[in-house]
Amino acid sequence: MKATRRRNRTLDPLASRSAIKNVIKQLRASLPDLIPKSDKQLLSMLRAIIHAERHPDIKTRRGRKATWKDYELAKASSVLRGIIERGTKRVSLRSFVEHYLLIPSFPEDVAQSLESGEINLFEAEQLARLTRSSSQRRRQLDIHLRYWLRRNNWRLRSRLFTKTQKV
């Protein structure tokens, strides 16, 4: 595909630490009695919502008792969907829980690159998984950007290359 016809990257409004914290804050404000105070319990509840939506017909008395009731999960699910869809692009609840909630735990350099639009969420997840120092992670990011820029026009290449050299 020609470089002139290539789609431009757009900034993801949810791909920042502040946006994720804002969504969680709105969720806790909407349902103060239902949403747990700790982030670990909140993540557990959101994963239970995903599981309940994926397997709605499983009603058994065997195994461990559920922490949350079905109507609580349904209520939290509908409120969270409304918050996510209110001011952003369309993101599924499962994608939000499994991908976007990881952003606050990303290393600082990866989170900054994601928020500035240098990399997308998938690339940020891969870079965050590397257990290297920030200088080695920055080198991997530079290698990735150089490869991506080689395929595009020289103006874009020079603009982004100078941006990575400043950081």
Which residue ranges make up each domain of the chain?
Answer: 1-105, 106-167
Alpha helices, DSSP H only, in 55-120?
A: 70-87, 93-98, 108-116
On whether the pTM is more than 0.85, the answer is no
Per residue in 78-137, pLDDT tens?
999 999 888 667 788 898 999 999 999 888 888 888 888 888 888 888 888 876 666 676
Whether the Cβ atoms of residue 160 and residue 149 lie closer than 8 Å to each other: yes
